[in-house]
């Protein structure tokens, strides 16, 4: 498989063994434009580096419904770690181009970004309704907020860096993405874990939603499903807010799948359906086969 060969190349040359999950493709595009070197995507590492130090990337796509940058984890440790980076790159990606164009960004000094996030999250907690618990530590930042609060401006990129170290592979990946999207009918297939969802859906004869929705897929009868995909046999439920727990009640089942992300395979023997039972009083989700 062409994709597996490209991933093997990135693994050998740059130590990046998974170039698909978590929208890694777009991080490769950002690194190419800024002449950065990718940092292998291990837990707790930043995204890229150069002779100055390490960088954290945040990006959103113009074609996405959410035009802001999301910090899924704004714990004290995460905020503090930003003080050690050169800067945080808040990037804008336009996927109407071939390949996707990284056309502008806002660069925020690491320590300044850390202090800003600390202030914004404290303010967010103060504004929460009395007695309301924020079940998921998540915050979104917009370009307007960064420009206004930090007195910063966008940096525009007029031309694609065709001399960048990743440009050739980006073009190859884009060609494969176009072929996969034409074959499956699923747009933005290299965003998040979408490609793994498609592989699971093939096994279960489901249809994956192209757009970001409350549910991941449906069957021919219109039953809705949530997918959880892991490299092992343990699945993480980060968000157990009331809204998310309520959403699970509409699912026919939660699909627990294990993926071999080097060989691009789903363990069909362990692609189990689990009924979701919600215990709201304990704010927990219990999944049973």
β-strands 224-230, 251-260: how paired?
parallel
Domains in the chain, CATH or no CATH each = 2-168 (3.40.210.10), 193-288 (no CATH)
pLDDT digits (tens, 9 = 90+) for 215-264: 889 999 999 998 888 877 777 776 666 777 777 888 888 888 888 877 77
Q: How far is CA 148 from the centre of its chain?
A: 26
- What is the longest distance spanned by two Cα atoms in the chain? 56
pLDDT of 277 > 70? The answer is no
Q: What are phi and psi of 244, to 5 degrees?
A: -70, -45
The dihedral through the CA atoms of 149, 27, 260, 194 has a sign that is positive
User: Residue 153 — pLDDT band, cuts 50, 70, 90?
Assistant: very high
pLDDT of 194 > 70? The answer is yes
Mean pLDDT, range 27-33, rounded to an integer? 94
Mean pLDDT rounded to a whole number for the chain: 80
Cβ burial 59-92 (10 Å sphere, 16+ → b, else e): bbbeeeeeebbebeebeeebbebbeebbbbbbbb
Question: What pLDDT does residue 203 have?
Answer: 87
Q: What are phi and psi of 191, to 5 degrees?
A: -95, 135
pLDDT digits (tens, 9 = 90+) for 70-122: 887 666 778 889 999 999 999 999 988 777 899 999 999 999 999 999 888 88
Q: What are phi and psi of 6, to 5 degrees?
A: -65, -40
Rounded Cα distance, 107 and 111, in Å: 12
């Amino acid at each position: 498989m062409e994709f597996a060969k490209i991933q093997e190349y990135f693994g050998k040359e740059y130590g990046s063994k998974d170039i698909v999950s978590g929208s890694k493709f777009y991080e490769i595009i950002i690194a190419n434009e800024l002449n950065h070197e990718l940092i292998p995507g291990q837990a707790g590492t930043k995204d890229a580096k150069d002779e100055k130090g390490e960088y954290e990337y945040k990006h959103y796509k113009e074609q996405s419904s959410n035009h802001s940058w999301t910090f899924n984890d704004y714990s004290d440790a995460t905020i503090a770690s930003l003080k050690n980076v050169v800067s945080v790159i808040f990037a804008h990606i336009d996927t109407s181009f071939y390949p996707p164009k990284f056309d502008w960004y806002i660069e925020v000094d690491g320590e300044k970004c850390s202090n800003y996030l600390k202030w914004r999250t404290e303010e967010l907690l103060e504004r929460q309704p009395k007695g309301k618990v924020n079940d998921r530590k998540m915050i979104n930042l917009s370009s307007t907020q960064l420009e206004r609060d930090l007195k910063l401006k966008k940096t525009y990129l007029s031309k694609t860096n065709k001399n960048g170290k990743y440009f050739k592979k980006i073009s190859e990946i884009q060609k494969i993405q176009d072929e996969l999207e034409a074959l499956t009918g699923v747009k933005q297939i290299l965003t998040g874990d979408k490609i793994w969802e498609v592989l699971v859906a093939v096994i279960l004869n489901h249809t994956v939603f192209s757009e970001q929705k409350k549910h991941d897929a449906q069957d021919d009868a219109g039953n809705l499903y949530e997918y959880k995909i892991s490299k092992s046999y343990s699945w993480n439920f980060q968000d157990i807010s009331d809204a998310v727990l309520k959403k699970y009640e509409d699912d026919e089942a939660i699909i627990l799948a294990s993926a071999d992300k080097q060989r691009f395979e789903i363990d069909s023997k362990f692609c189990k359906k689990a009924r979701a039972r919600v215990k709201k009083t304990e704010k927990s989700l219990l999944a049973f086969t």
